[in-house]
Structure formats: structure tokens, C-alpha cells
Amino acid sequence: MNFKHELVSAYNDMLDIKVSLGFSRHNYTSHILPFIDFCTDKYPGASEITKEMLDQWLVSKTFITDNTRRLAIINIRHFARYLNATGMHAYVPSSEYNVRVRRYQPYIFSDKELNQLFDSIDSLKNRKGFDSNPDLILPVAFRLELCCGMRPAEPFNLRVEDVDLKSGDIYIRKSKRGKDRHIIMSEDMRQLCTVYDGLAGKREWFFQYMDGGKVPTRWAHWNFTKAWQKTGLLSRGNNPRPYDLRHNFATRTLMRWVDEGRDVMTLMPYLRTYMGHSGMEETLYYIHLLPERIKASPGIDWGMLSDIYCAEEDFYAED
């Protein structure tokens, strides 16, 4: 077996392990194979991956953004570590290759903005020539994202049997990292879903086109942007995205706990489980998005949080 075949074989083995652990296959397909091709084409007699190979590959590549370059280095770092663990030799990119990228700042809606946004969502209509029923589907789906902290794709992956309209239990199948979880709707949300279910009729997917097709997340995202533009509101920095509804669920839950005088730090594991976070760092991140009056609450232990924002970048890239 030549060097290229060895690397490709190792890459496929690593990918199988990553996928079995719940990581997305897509995370590792964009950069590692092109890097292998470069190394074996430019260094045909090589038997290991060297620092020179990595440096030359980075010089030869044009990355669209700094974030793309950062992810490429992280991918190669994981691959190099895997090679070394299996007995092959590979240079592991050190911290000198790290690219500092500004993390996306979630858009935290005011009450007024949320009211205007959902008024706009509730008034969405079909585009001419389409039969997708945004006025029936999206008011419910987006409220699930806001009121239950669901990720944008999660409502549209629900089958009818995943939503128990009697108990309010929602079964979310294989979401991020392939993990399942159960969440419970509020009574208002359960009643809204019950009304929607009666209008939608018999179907396979809880949210489904009239022709029987599964609703794509990109369609929902397009309509969300359309609804926001329709409000006439000016965004403060980044334009809001559907994912920001999930962020708002987290921050509003924390603010409610603080206003109620609850011990926020004790309750954080419950929020982590509900939202399906793989690590506590993801959940604790939301504390720094809270208003200043909330940050001063004695219910938040800032000493415990001192290292949260220095977490290794690999963690966020994979999750």
C-alpha cells in the first residue's frame, strides 16, 4: 500500500469513528482529502506528514474567510493526532497556526421586536406558484424554536409520532452529534400544536408541505429573513437568524430565574439537558449575553465562570 492509500484509509477509519461518536461527517470532508492529495502529489516519496507540507499547502490555498482557514487547521490537527495515535507519523499544527475569529454575537430581541417579528411571521403568504403554507407551518415552528429552545432544523425533523399532544412531550431524534432527547412544551405551546395538528391533517412529518414533502430548513430561513425585513426594524449589528430564537430562549430562561430569585448555577444542568448541549460551557456561555442588571445578580457565580471564554477553539468548531 502506498503512502496516499495509507492516508486515505486512515482518514476513512477516523471518519467512521467520529461519525459513530455523533460528529458530522461534513465537518471533515472539506479539507483533509485535498490536503492528502497535495502532500502525496507534491512530495511523492514521503512517508509522513511534515510541517513543510502543511506550510506549503496553506500558502497554496485561498481561503474565503479566516474562519474557513481556522476550520481547515483544526481538521488537519485532528487528523494528524489520529495518525500519530495509530502508529503513523504526522506533524500536529501548534497554536501558532491558530486564527482568532470573532464569534457570532447572537441577536437578543426586545419584547417589542419579538412581537413585531411574530406579527410579521403570522402574516406570511405563499409565493405565487407555490403551495407550501407558510402561514400554517411557520408561526408554530418558529414558536417552538423560541419557546422550547429548539435548533432551527429540529422542528422540521419531527415525525407526527414524535409529538405527544396529550402530554406535551417532544422526542427529538438524533440532533447534534446524533443524540436524542425529550423536551416538554408549555401548555400554551401544546394547545397551539394541537390546533395546528387538526388543520394539517394526516401526514408523516409534523411540519409538511401540502404535497407531502418534508419542509427544508432553508425555506424556513428564507421566510424568517423575509418576515424580519417586513417589520421595518433596523438590526443592531448582525441581522437576526432563526438560531437566535434558540439563543433568546436560553437568555430569557436565565433572566426569569434571576428575577424569581432562583439559584442560577444550580439550575444550569437542567437547562443544558433541555437544550441538548454536549458540554456545560455551551450553556454557561449565555450568561455573558444577559443585561447588566442581571449580570450583577448574586445568583451567578462569576468565579466559577472565569475560564469559560478561554475554551479551546476546537470545542466550538466541532460542536
Are residues 16 and 70 both part of a single domain?
yes
103 located within any domain = no
Residue 206 has pLDDT above 90, yes or no: yes
- Which of 25-39, 88-102, 295-309 is least confident? 295-309
Q: Look at strands 169-172 and 181-184 and give their pairing.
A: antiparallel
Q: How far is CA 124 from CA 138, 176, 225, 278, in A?
A: 8, 29, 11, 35
Q: How far apart are CA 278 and CA 184, in angstroms?
A: 19
Residue 189 maps to a domain: yes
pLDDT per position as a tens digit, 135-183: 899 999 999 999 999 999 999 999 999 999 999 999 999 877 678 899 9
Give the pLDDT confidence score for residue 82 in this predicted structure: 93
Give the pLDDT of residue 128. Answer: 59
Segment 68-94 mean pLDDT: 92
Express each pLDDT in 56-73 by its tens digit.
999 898 888 888 888 899
Q: What average pLDDT does the segment 61-89 reach?
A: 89
In a domain, 241, yes or no: no
What is the C-alpha separation between 211 and 258, in angstroms, rounded?
A: 46
Which helix (DSSP H) or strand (DSSP E) does residue 315 occupy? helix 313-318
Using the 3D structure, point to which of 97, 126, 152 is the last residue of a domain.
Answer: 97
> Nearest CA to 202 among 141, 160, 140?
160
Q: Is the domain of 90 the same as that of 119? A: no
Tell me the backbone φ, ψ of residue 53, rounded to 5 degrees: -60, -45
Residues 124 and 220 in one domain: yes
Nearest CA among 171, 162, 169, 115 for reference residue 143: 115
DSSP state of 165: T
Give the pLDDT confidence score for residue 171 in this predicted structure: 97
Residue 304, amino acid: M
Q: Is residue 61 part of a domain?
A: yes
pLDDT at 93 over 80: yes
Domain end (from 65, 97, 129): 97
Tell me the pLDDT band of 9, cut-offs 50, 70 and 90.
very high
Contact 40, 3 (CB under 8 A): yes
State residue 188's pLDDT score. Answer: 95
Number of domains the chain is built from: 3
Average pLDDT over residues 123-135: 75
Question: Is 278 a domain residue?
Answer: yes
User: What is the arithmetic mean of pLDDT over 282-305?
Assistant: 66
Q: What is the pLDDT of residue 319?
A: 40
Q: How confident is residue 278, by pLDDT bands cut at 50, 70 and 90?
A: confident
Instruction: Give me the count of residues in the chain.
Output: 319
Asked, for residue 70, whether it belongs to a domain, the answer is: yes
pLDDT(204) > 90: yes
Q: Is the pLDDT of residue 317 over 80?
A: no
Question: Domain range spanning residue 23?
Answer: 3-97
**122-131, 253-262, 289-298, 304-313: which has the minimum mean pLDDT?**
304-313
Q: What is the CATH number of the domain that holds 149?
A: 1.10.443.10
Range list of β-strands (E), 122-272 = 169-172, 181-184
Same domain? For 45 and 139 the reply is no
Residue 84 and residue 105: Cα distance in Å, rounded?
A: 36
Which pLDDT tens digit goes with each residue over 227-245?
999 999 877 767 899 999 9
**Residues 185 and 278 occupy one common structural domain:** no
- 123/227 same-domain check: yes
Task: Determine the pLDDT at residue 96.
Answer: 82
Residues 73 and 115 in one domain: no
Where does the pLDDT of residue 290 fall: very low under 50, low under 70, confident under 90, or very high at 90 and above? confident
Mean pLDDT of all residues in the chain? 85
